[in-house]
């Protein structure tokens, strides 16, 4: 495992989210290093998306706090928003705008001037192979291309921390592999928190993996470490073992 440096990028301290009687995230404490790709795994309703929503200041924690590059999500949400980007679970593009206009929108809302926007758009369209579809309406693109655009929109603001909520959900094998290559190319440059249901995705991409169930973090280690703990020879078996054996 190679870090850009050994500094902490995300520190989560007793983060809890309750919706009435339901505890969506229960006293989560965790540390993620700069440049690390950390995957959150869990069955539906485990609390993965709620964790991302709290870390990206979309929803407030009921208890606890988290610090993103030293900024509190409770006390400094504006400052946190200036260093993060989120690619939500559902496709989050302006369907009536073309690809370039979508990228320009994100540059604009981050306050980039014209020349910086042009440079970033050229850079990201090359990285994600969007040049051939720049003038096509986002709403007319296939699911795979919309996901690429969605990730380009997340990256264009030069985030220090990137949240990818099930980035390859519903994609075919080729489109998924293309996106894996893109995500791999970001490792070490940006801290990435990824949620996924695909075990092979987590195994392929992650430096470390956290397994959640009922809002609790059951295990947190490298994919190899998780397999060792569970005595399994692949991550899927290890995941099933850990989730089933927990109370």
Partner 1 sequence: MRMLSFAIKNTKELLRDPINIAFTLGFPLVLLFMLSAMQANIPVEMFEIHHLAPGIAVFGLSFLSLFSATLISKDRNSSLLQRLYTTPLTASDFILGYTLPLIPMAVVQCAICYIVSIPLGLEISVDIVYATISIIPVTILFIAIGLLCGSVLNDKQVGGVCGALLTNLSAWLSGIWFDVSLLGNGFETFCNMLPFIHAVEMERAILSGCFEGMFPHIWWVLGYAIVTLLIAIHLFMRQMKRQ
Chain residues binding partner 1 by CB under 8 A are 53, 56-60, 78, 81-82, 84-97, 101, 104-111, 150, 153-154, 157
Least distance (Å) between residue 174 CB and partner 1: 24
Least distance (Å) between residue 53 CB and partner 1: 7
d(CA 140, CA 127): 21
Least distance (Å) between residue 161 CB and partner 1: 11
Q: Which residues are registered as beta bridge partners of 11?
A: 31, 67
Whether the CB-CB separation of 159 and 190 falls below 8 Å is answered with yes
Q: For the chain, percent helix, then strand, then coil, each to nearest 5?
A: 40, 30, 35
| Displacement of CA 15 from its chain's centroid (Å) | 18
Distances 191 to 71, 134, 145, 159, 220 between C-alpha atoms, Å: 15, 27, 23, 9, 17
Q: Which residues are registered as beta bridge partners of 199?
A: none
SS3 182: helix
d(CA 239, CA 176): 21
Residue 10 burial by CB count (10 A; 0-12/13-18/19+): exposed, middle or buried? buried
Least distance (Å) between residue 61 CB and partner 1: 13
Residue 82 or 229 with smaller CB distance to partner 1: 82
Residue 146 or 206 with smaller CB distance to partner 1: 146
Residue 137 or 216 with smaller CB distance to partner 1: 137
Residue 52 or 227 with smaller CB distance to partner 1: 52
Whether the CB-CB separation of 15 and 25 falls below 8 Å is answered with yes
Residue 104 or 160 with smaller CB distance to partner 1: 104
Least distance (Å) between residue 34 CB and partner 1: 20
Least distance (Å) between residue 162 CB and partner 1: 11
Residue 125 or 150 with smaller CB distance to partner 1: 150
């Amino acid at each position: 495992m190679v870090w850009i440096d050994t500094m902490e990028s995300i520190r989560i301290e007793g983060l809890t989210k309750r919706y009435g009687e339901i505890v969506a995230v229960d006293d989560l404490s965790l540390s993620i290093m700069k440049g690390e790709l950390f995957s959150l795994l869990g069955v539906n309703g485990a609390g993965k998306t709620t964790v991302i929503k709290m870390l990206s200041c979309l929803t407030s924690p009921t208890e606890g706090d988290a610090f993103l590059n030293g900024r509190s999500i409770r006390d400094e949400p504006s400052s946190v928003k200036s260093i993060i980007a989120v690619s939500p679970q559902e496709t989050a593009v302006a369907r009536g705008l073309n690809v370039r206009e979508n990228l320009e929108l994100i540059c604009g809302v981050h306050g980039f001037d014209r020349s910086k926007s042009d440079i970033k758009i050229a850079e990201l369209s090359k990285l994600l192979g969007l040049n051939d579809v720049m003038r096509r309406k986002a709403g007319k693109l296939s699911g795979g291309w919309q996901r690429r655009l969605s990730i380009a929109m997340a990256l264009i603001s030069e985030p220090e921390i990137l949240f990818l909520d099930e980035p390859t959900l519903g994609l075919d094998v080729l489109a998924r592999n293309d996106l894996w290559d893109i995500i791999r190319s970001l490792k070490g440059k940006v801290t990435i928190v990824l949620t996924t249901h695909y075990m092979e995705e987590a195994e392929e991409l992650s430096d470390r993996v956290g397994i959640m169930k009922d809002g609790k973090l059951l295990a947190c280690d490298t994919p190899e470490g998780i397999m060792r703990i569970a005595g399994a020879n692949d991550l899927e078996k290890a995941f099933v073992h850990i989730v089933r054996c927990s109370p």
